Amino acid sequence: MKILFYDVKDFELNYLLERVSNKIEPTFLKTTLIEQTYIDEKHLDTEAISCFVNSQLNKKVLSKFKKLKYIFLRCVGYSNVDLEYCKENDIKIYNAANYGNSTVAEFTFALVLSISKKINQAQNSIKFGLIDANELMGIELCSKTIGVIGVGAIGRKVVNIAHGFNMNVLAYDIEQKGAYNFVSLDELLAKSDFISINCPLNSQTKGMINRNAFLKMKKDAILINVARGEIVDTMALYWALVNKKIYAAALDVVECEEILCQTYKKCANNDGLKLMCLKKFFFIQKLLHLPNVIITPHNAYNTKEAQIRILNTTLENIDSIFDNKYGTKNLVLI
């Protein structure tokens, strides 16, 4: 079986070369698979694709591969895949579930601590010799309320860490599984000092944190997003911050992340950029210049341990096609 591996980092390449099954014909590519990506004709008959969340597997991209049967995602989320096209063409999707539950939850609190203790500003004050204790006054976590939106595998870890800081926890999730303090979304927004977004991106959550949501928050609320950028309306967030509707924000994800790739890494040309993404990017740049905002480049997942788990799960998913050893363990149902 021919497999094209996209988004391959040097660490991944070395690890995969040592462990990949001799039952497949792998091709490893550092490029991200988007509409503008050049695809050599000899690769168009591939039966499988493996990629990271940066790749955008829409109908236009997937239809180029006429023999495609499998997609092996090296990530948990699959909002970057055209599920309808895959369903119509019987393309099975496998993800790397639960590889980074602790990793992402830990990063969530790295952002919580960085923004509440003003660590970035404190470091810069040393660098530039402009130390002002009044400007560097932080916020305690003890006895504060954190609202966790999405109490799945990662959200549960966030709750556990929050309890370690003696925080009060409110939870919002459609399924409401487990013994958590579940409340309505409106109540969570109104009562939380910190709001942590840990839910998947879907039709219900896209744009969920909009201007109306910000109006329901406390004026000293801090927003944390390590899930997907499209859950938060970027322009509404900028409006809320400059108009002091909330206190601060720390984001590991932003809307239209593909434009960040194209801008900072020059990984593709700009032909396919949507006008809306250009508008979003403009406001992302404005957010970067606010002192009460932290933005990191979708890096919450990025630890050595998590990367190894991703690769091991991907290899297991590929092997399961041949020996059915793992059945449908990581099969995405569509």
205, 83: one domain? no
53, 113: one domain? no
- Helix or strand or coil: residue 211? helix
DSSP state for residue 16 in the 8-state scheme: H
Count of structural domains, the chain: 2
Cβ neighbours for 298, distance < 8 A, ≥ 6 positions apart: 53, 252, 253, 257
Q: Is residue 228 annotated as part of the catalytic site, yes or no?
A: yes
Q: What is the DSSP string of 69-125?
A: -EEEESSS--TTB-HHHHHHTT-EEE--TTSSHHHHHHHHHHHHHHHHTTHHHHHHH
Cβ neighbours for 271, distance < 8 A, ≥ 6 positions apart: 36
DSSP state for residue 252 in the 8-state scheme: S
122, 250: one domain? yes
Range of the structural domain that residue 63 is part of: 2-99+303-332
- So what's the pLDDT on residue 324? 66
CATH value at residue 285: 3.40.50.720
**HSE-CB for 233 with a 13 A CA cutoff:** 12
Look at 77-81, 193-197, 249-253, 267-271 and tell me which has the smallest mean pLDDT. 267-271
Q: How confident is the model at residue 67 (pLDDT cuts 50, 70, 90)?
A: very high
Q: Is residue 298 annotated as part of the catalytic site, yes or no?
A: yes
Q: Which pTM does this prediction carry?
A: 0.84
Active-site entry in 156, 257, 258, 309: 257
159, 212: one domain? yes
Over range 253-260, report the average pLDDT: 81
> What are φ and ψ of residue 31, in 5° steps?
-70, 155
270, 244: one domain? yes
DSSP state for residue 272 in the 8-state scheme: T
State the Cα–Cα distance between residues 138 and 263, nearest whole angstrom: 33
264, 312: one domain? no
255, 186: one domain? yes
Q: How confident is the model at residue 267 (pLDDT cuts 50, 70, 90)?
A: very low
112, 92: one domain? no
27, 164: one domain? no
Per the model's pLDDT, the better-predicted residue between 260 and 108 turns out to be 108
Active-site entry in 12, 74, 156, 228: 228
Highest mean pLDDT among 7-11, 157-161, 201-205: 157-161
Q: How far apart are the first and last CA of the chain?
A: 23
- So what's the pLDDT on residue 8? 95
- So what's the pLDDT on residue 92? 95
- So what's the pLDDT on residue 331? 86
Active-site entry in 12, 255, 258, 298: 298
- So what's the pLDDT on residue 115? 97
146, 71: one domain? no
